Structure 1
């Protein structure tokens, strides 16, 4: 697994859009990134509008490949999620990234790209994007620490099913994008890994359908642990489902003797604690917290 070099004050980072157009203020986020000592550089089309999207597919791909090839850019923080990244995945210059690895940071729709990077042997960061930086100090500070080389993190949980230590990479992200990856070049590989999941705005039956898809494909069988992040604004029409969404998710892993962590604040809430995707880690599932030590 290729681990990008940590950042240093004065480094340039690219701000690139691959999904939905910007519909919020980002001035505070820009000032926070500058306060970290970094120099944000926007792609030519980052703030473009093309209907729903932040520019045409060609414009988005041009910006991303520019950032991957520009040697002075040391990391890429994506503008926001929504939808659209999968439309350009197959045109990304991954060879440039493999020859000069740099941190790519995103969540939600960017899950698709993080899974693609993992399959290519490049670690990425599931964490706040520019449009969400400034919403929570803990999330911002943790992202800064991670990018600047810190490897040990302690996250609060609501509960765990087993107190155990596992050495394995963390993979996953947004459930919808994890399920969508099946059959594509970025198809999730769970064998021997810890799965992290989060979701927003779906109905309970849709959560069930996506998990059932992963089960039917045999994807869950090799999983060594489960981290349940934020499942936000999940609907339950007519109260057909009697269980909570966390209970529904964990039920798909009941046949496996693996630890399940509940309540990690990572996903579509203001607090969105970052995780490295694909990087080997020593993960301790403790009574009320998750201790993660990323390995080289």
Structure 2
């Protein structure tokens, strides 16, 4: 009797895993709408402490694209090495994800801390108001979670790098505004190609 129950339990678990993987792989992904001049975007600090001298040049780039930039209330906060407490960082990220007015969320910087927020936010709500989430490094945890929830994201420049790398800005602008990559020229450093 115990053996039969155990085998039934194992078979049900295996079937559940197969079905879960099948649904995840076949679920249609939601592509957020492309940006337009006049759209509101947000700069979020989900990770390490951010400094204005590193972040503001990137914000100026977004404003030069004709976007209205909303800064997280914790953008320049400090809680040890982080940009605010876990609760405050999670609340700001959730507010931005839930807002129908915000069309994209740019990560301020990387480091560590975004993975701490994953169990404190609801990714499913973002399906109602899909928007681009842009960043790399520590933001990869958010990309994986959002992609698993069926929402497309952009693994691209953050505010800490956007104002300092022109090529990254051109490529990101083309992707966000659906302009394609036909007119982008990227120069390579010959020393890096050797």
How far 1:93 moved relative to its partner? Answer: 1.9
Number of aligned residues: 160
Note the 1:169-188 alignment, pairs <5 A. none
**2:126 aligned with 1:101, yes or no?**
no
Unaligned runs of 5+ in 1: 159-261, 264-296
Unaligned runs of 5+ in 2: 1-28
One of 6, 19, 30 as aligned partner of 1:2: 30
SS of the residue aligned with 1:109?
Answer: helix
How far 1:120 moved relative to its partner? Answer: 1.2
Contact 1:24 1:131 in 2 (8 A): no
- In the alignment, what sits opposite 1:131? 160
Contact 2:52 2:76 in 1 (8 A): no
Structure with bigger helix share is 2
CA RMSD of aligned residues (A): 2.0
Contact 1:6 1:148 in 2 (8 A): yes
How far 1:70 moved relative to its partner? Answer: 1.2
- In the alignment, what sits opposite 2:77? 48
Distance 1:68 1:85, change over 3 A: same
- In the alignment, what sits opposite 1:71? 100
- In the alignment, what sits opposite 1:121? 150
Task: Tell me how far apart the structure 1 counterparts of residues 173 and 118 of structure 2 sit (CA, whole Å).
Answer: 27
- The runs of at least 4 consecutive aligned structure 1 residues that moved more than 3 Å come to 151-158
SS of the residue aligned with 2:41?
Answer: strand
Structure with bigger strand share is 1
Task: Tell me how far apart the structure 2 counterparts of residues 38 and 157 of structure 1 sit (CA, whole Å).
Answer: 27
Give a deviation string over 1:43-73, Cα, whole Å, max 9, x none: 1112110000000000000100110111110
Contact 2:124 2:149 in 1 (8 A): no
Distance 1:137 1:152, change over 3 A: closer
How far 1:24 moved relative to its partner? Answer: 5.4
Task: Tell me how far apart the structure 1 counterparts of residues 72 and 110 of structure 2 sit (CA, whole Å).
Answer: 16
- In the alignment, what sits opposite 1:217? none
Task: Tell me how far apart the structure 1 counterparts of residues 32 and 180 of structure 2 sit (CA, whole Å).
Answer: 13
Give a deviation string over 1:167-207, Cα, whole Å, max 9, x none: xxxxxxxxxxxxxxxxxxxxxxxxxxxxxxxxxxxxxxxxx
**2:51 aligned with 1:31, yes or no?**
no
SS of the residue aligned with 1:88?
Answer: helix
Task: Tell me how far apart the structure 2 counterparts of residues 35 and 23 of structure 1 sit (CA, whole Å).
Answer: 21
One of 105, 116, 121 as aligned partner of 1:92: 121
Of structures 1 and 2, the one scoring higher in RCO (CA 8 A, sep 6+) is 2
TM (norm. structure 2) is 0.77
How far 1:82 moved relative to its partner? Answer: 0.2
Distance 1:89 1:155, change over 3 A: farther
TM (norm. structure 1) is 0.51
Note the 1:135-214 alignment, pairs <5 A. 135-152=164-181
SS of the residue aligned with 2:133?
Answer: strand
